[in-house]
Structure 1
Amino acid sequence: MTGKSAAKVAVVGAGPGGLAAAMLLAAKGYEVEVFEKQDTVGGRSGELRLGEYRFDRGATFLMMPHLLEELFTLAGRSLHSYVSMKELNPLYSLHFGDTVFRPSTDQEQTEAEIERLFPGNGAGYRRFMADEDDKFIRVMPLLQRPFQSPADYLKRDVLHALPRLHATDTVYNRLSKYFDDERLRYAFTFQAKYLGMSPWECPGTFTILSYLEHRYGLYHPEGGINKVLEAMADVIREHGGRIRTSSVVNQILVNNHHASGLLLEDGEKVHADYVVLGADFGTAVTRLFEPGLLKKYTPVKMARKRYSCSTAMLYLGVDGAVDLGHHSVHFSGDYRRNVDEITRQGILSADPSIYIHNPSVIDATLAPAGKSSLYVLMPVPNLQAGIDWQQEGPAVREQMMERLEQIPQLAGLSSRVEESKFFSPLDWRDSLDVYNGATFNLAHNLGQMMYLRPHNTFQEVSGVWLVGGGTHPGSGLPTIFESAKISARLLEEHDRAARSRSVAVAGTAGSGVPL
């Protein structure tokens, strides 16, 4: 970008995607300014404080940390200069009544554990890992480039991956080919919840999620995931970028169908050559553009799309230690029914599954000495189900506490709680602008993947690039970071071409040749 001042890029939203894109572009010399509605960075993965207790609001672990390391390297920095990472061993504890399965990245150890708890299934585990090794090699290139034309399906990498995509199968059916014990199938299919989907409906491609955990491990950054996002913000500032928190964007300004900047809530107009849209996709397209401007993403059309489930959350500051691992999943007695109630029937389960994050067991920075920050997540229907959360919220909170009290290690928990906050799908929508309260964004059904997912280069208004879970390649931190890499690269390529055309036109005009 020599010979002309750097282009100005306005980034809407300081979530993982917005911060990652801003970091990459600031490192390239662009004039970057990030606008975030909340008073802290991180979006739905930011930090929550209750008194002296600290929590990750959303994501609670890092998968495939090498992708994050690559992101920092592209920005001329080292992740480990900012954040201390700790690998989790075991990955998590999965509770099926009295049976507790604790897998790890040590395949021999995990196979032995499977044989001990689920005799005869060890060989299936080895086959699964070998088959997914091959799938991963084929699928990963598809997650690192855009799908912006139907012709992208005819490229060599897609044709190479196609025999292993299993896109017309389901996650549950795929795992049934390897394991004959239902509990073990659930242990390798519950990761479909990371996409907010049922494993009985989620495309079979996504068996890769459990493979990635078992192959590459899970990591806890000291201080929580939010520390990674704060590190990104630091890198942006080090490269001369600005981050404006408590700064609400009311509208993306458009001139001749090209984004020209932002209108803030306080009336300020911010000029920008380009806009990176990191806000929740459904909320952004239904709120941030002049009514009637968009044709493909009208409110009516957005309402017809499929969305992930939501989550009811409990953040608890607890007196004393909690005798649970860093991650534990406590499955419903009838897991399939529980999932069906969430994703198909749109009702609250009488017997829910819950996830418990107990980071204080390995990280003393999150709670006062001798105490624990406990995060509890219960998957629930999104707001399309029509549940009245103002009425049902208190009962759901009580149900979650009762469910926790049933866990032997948490008996008597209520008497130890010093701080608490309940967060419902309504809160996800109203406090964090999550469309339909769908915590994991657009669903990943076949009609909303790759080319059929909103493109990284926004189609309806030029000069806009999308990042986050609502664009390709999808939701989840690793894929959100990949969306930022893709979109930042596309923006830079566009800008480079535009500058070349500008230089060529100026040269032609200077030569006296008629234009």
Structure 2
Amino acid sequence: MPAATSAIVIGSGFGGLALAIRLQSAGIATTIVEARDRPGGRAYCWKQDGYTFDAGPTVITDPSCLAELWALSGRSMSDDVVLRPVDPFYRLIWNDGTCFDYSSDQAALDAEIAKLNPNDVAGYQHFLAYSRAVYDEAYVKLGTVPFLSFKSMIEAAPALARYQAWRSVYSAVSSFVHDEKLRQALSFHTLLVGGNPMTTSSVYALIHHLEKLGGVWCAQGGTNALIDALAVLFEKLGGRLVLNEKVDTITHSGGRVTGVVTKSGRCFEADQIASNGDVVGTYALIADSSYAARRVKSLKRKRFSPSLFVVHLGLKGTFPHIAHHSILFSDRYGPLLKDIYCQGKVPQDPSIYLHNPGASDESLAPAGKSALYALAPVPHLGSAPIDWSLEGDEYRRIIIDRLRATLIPDIDQRIELCFHYTPCDFRDDLGAHMGSAFSLEPILTQSAWFRGHNRDDHFPNLYLVGAGTHPGAGIPGVVGSAKATASLMV
């Protein structure tokens, strides 16, 4: 079979852009077909009245995986985008007034742990060693390796068993430290990739070492500036980025996919097709295929991560006392997670992630003002079929009430702009199945070979990239999936 000389990538999220850059750098003429008016996917942004509102993600870790994309063509990421370190990584806040600065400085972090429980300082060191070990095994060795057969999963099993991968992150953390707040502080990270700390495999404890090793960063100008830099890099390499063209059909003939047709009727053909879209939605695009129909049914039976309710706020004033990243914990940790993941209940006491980019970068808002982003996990539409057009205003009020009580007492007088993004928007704007914000839930039985395969089992020139594939969601995850998928396509 002759080598592929052309490719189409459906969608321009982090995974799609990273894959397209790798393909184009390898000499494969690549076209990205994007439904929206700008690249980014979940990393979209809105600009209004001098404010820039990132849709997310806003936590950038492992910048080396991004720098590698520029290095493929002998370029430097710093020429196109500036990354700034964020410290503390997160400020964790509980309703009883307890604050915990999750810092890169080990001495400062030990002091924060000692304030909660002096006896847990030693336990934390043991947890850190565990986190480093699973990072080496699951992220370094397996994070960019495609799992195309069950045999490959079996071969990885001994290493996973060595670190008791069947245990949850929360369970693993609890075996090292005893203070409940510290257990929450060391396990909440899985929520950033759609996982329930109470059920997500303990290998995801690797996130802690990933942050310790590479830091937590933000892009000057917002995450959208990083997306724009990736898009410019792709086009400088000779790639073609087509916007405002929603793919309606993936065509196929003779057991191979042949191209895509958009809603407007435009046709694009290529030797290979990769989708950065929703995994269920991708197979639904394949017309007249009993295999694709079966695949859709099979995927729909899997467990999908929750959705998010996001409030974007343009406020008068700046807030230097608020960290770049804050986590406002509910008084109910385990029970709240059970409501969201198991019971389909929208919590009236949500835990909130608050993004205050002005703490590191004043360019996202007019002088003397701030663009904030408050996010609360909520059930996806499959478990909580709520009409958010009716319920959204009330839930926004709940979140703003919490910000008023905790951090910004006069928030009502400061609001200049305010809008929210709901599970229905994830479904309608992004094609996310049931409005899930992170695709398949990252549990052990939906990891590696059990996730969407980087290459399809039936159509040998159809590929997947992004949160629904191995290794999973988050910027390092989807950029890693692009590396795995590219290794199969080049």
TM-score for the superposition, normalised by structure 1: 0.91
Report if the CA contact (8 A) 1:23-1:75 is conserved.
no
Please point out which of 435, 442, 454 is paired with 1:456.
454
**Alpha-carbon contact 1:121-1:179 (below 8 Å) kept:** yes
User: Which residue of the partner structure matches residue 109 of structure 1?
Assistant: 108
Could you tell me how far 1:485 is from its partner in structure 2? 0.9
Per-residue deviation, 1:479: 1.2
SS at match of 1:219: strand
* Equivalent in the alignment of 1:66: 64
Which letter maps to 1:317? G
Aligned to 2:147: 147
State whether structure 2 residue 137 is matched by structure 1 residue 138: yes
State the secondary structure of the residue aligned to 2:362.
coil
Q: Secondary structure at the match of 1:276?
A: strand
Measure, in 2, the Cα distance between the counterparts of 1:69 and 1:297: 39
Confirm or deny: 8 A CA contact 1:105 1:216 kept in the other structure: no
What one-letter code is carried by the residue in structure 2 that aligns with 1:10?
I
2:49 aligns with one of 48, 51, 54: 51
Contact 1:453 1:471 in 2 (8 A): yes
User: Any residues of structure 2 matched to 1:55-454 within 5 Å, and which?
Assistant: 55-97=53-95, 98-139=97-138, 140-155=140-155, 158=156, 161-286=159-284, 288-295=285-292, 297-322=294-319, 323-385=321-383, 386-407=385-406, 409-454=407-452
Distance in 2 (alpha carbons) for counterparts of 1:144 and 1:44: 21
CA distance in structure 2 between the partners assigned to 1:57 and 1:222 by the alignment: 15
Q: Higher mean Cα deviation, 206-215 or 256-265?
A: 206-215
Say whether the 8 Å CA contact 1:64–1:212 is kept in structure 2. Answer: yes
Q: Percent identity?
A: 34
**Matched residue SS, 2:171:** helix
Distance 1:487 1:5 in 2: 16
In structure 1, how many angstroms separate the alpha carbons of the residues matched to 2:224 and 2:290? 35
Provide, for residues 145-197 of structure 1, a one-character-per-residue CA deviation record: whole Å limited to 9, x for no partner. Answer: 11111221354xx2662344422111111010111111000001111212322
Letter in 2 for 1:223: G
Q: 1:404 Cα shift?
A: 1.3
CA contact (8 A) 2:328 2:352 kept: yes
- Contact 1:138–1:160 under 8 Å retained in 2: no
Structure 1 residues not aligned, in runs of 5+: 493-515
Q: Which amino acid aligns with 1:271?
A: E
After TM superposition, list the pairs within 5 Å mapping 1:36-47 onto structure 2: 36-47=34-45
- Given residue 305 of structure 2, which amino acid in structure 1 is its aligned partner? S
Return 7-16 or 382-391, whichever deviates more: 382-391
1:63 deviates by 0.7
Q: Could you say which residue in structure 2 is the equivalent of 1:511?
A: none
**Structure 1 counterpart of 2:271, which letter?**
D
**Corresponding letter in the other structure for 2:489:** L
More deviation, 216-225/67-76: 67-76
Q: Distance in 1 between matches of 2:301 and 2:84?
A: 42
8 Å contact 2:172–2:202 — kept in the other structure?
A: yes
* Structure 1 segment 466-477 matched on structure 2, within 5 A: 466-477=464-475
Distance 1:36 1:417 in 2: 33
Deviates more, 1:101-110 or 1:354-363: 101-110
Q: TM-score, length-normalised on structure 2?
A: 0.95
Change beyond 3 A, Cα 1:283–1:116: same
- Aligned residues of 2:88 and 2:102 also touching (Cα < 8 A): yes
Q: How many residues align?
A: 486
1:276 Cα deviation from its structure 2 partner: 1.3
Work out the CA distance in 1 between the residues paired with 2:265 and 2:292. 26
Q: CA deviation at 1:31?
A: 1.1
Query: Secondary structure in 2 aligned to 1:146?
Result: coil
The answer on whether the counterparts of 1:135 and 1:164 sit within 8 Å (CA) in structure 2 is no
Q: Which has the larger radius of gyration?
A: 1
Counterpart contact for 1:353–1:379, Cα < 8 Å:
yes
Note the alpha carbon deviations across 1:99-154, whole angstroms, 9 max, x for none: 10002122222112211233211111111112222222222211121111122135
Q: Separation in 2 of the partners of 1:399 and 1:325?
A: 21
Q: What one-letter code is carried by the residue in structure 2 that aligns with 1:347?
A: K
Q: 2:352 touches 2:374 (CA, 8 Å); kept in 1?
A: yes
Corresponding letter in the other structure for 2:120:
N
Separation in 1 of the partners of 2:41 and 2:157? 36
Aligned partners of 2:378, 2:73: CA distance in 1, in Å?
38
CA distance in 2, matches of 1:143, 1:124: 27
- Structure 2 segments unaligned to the other structure (5+ residues): none
Q: Which amino acid aligns with 1:207?
A: A
- Contact residue 105 and residue 215 of structure 1 kept, 8 A: no
Deviation at 1:222, TM superposition (A): 0.4
Are the structure 2 counterparts of residues 271 and 170 from structure 1 closer, same or farther at C-alpha, using a change threshold of 3 Å?
same
Counterpart amino acid of residue 129 in structure 2: A
Whether the 8 Å CA contact 2:131–2:208 is kept in 1: the answer is no
Distance of 1:342 and 1:61 partners within structure 2? 22
Amino acid at match of 1:404: L
Task: Give the Cα–Cα distance (whole angstroms) in 2 for the partners of residues 234 and 129 of structure 1.
Answer: 38
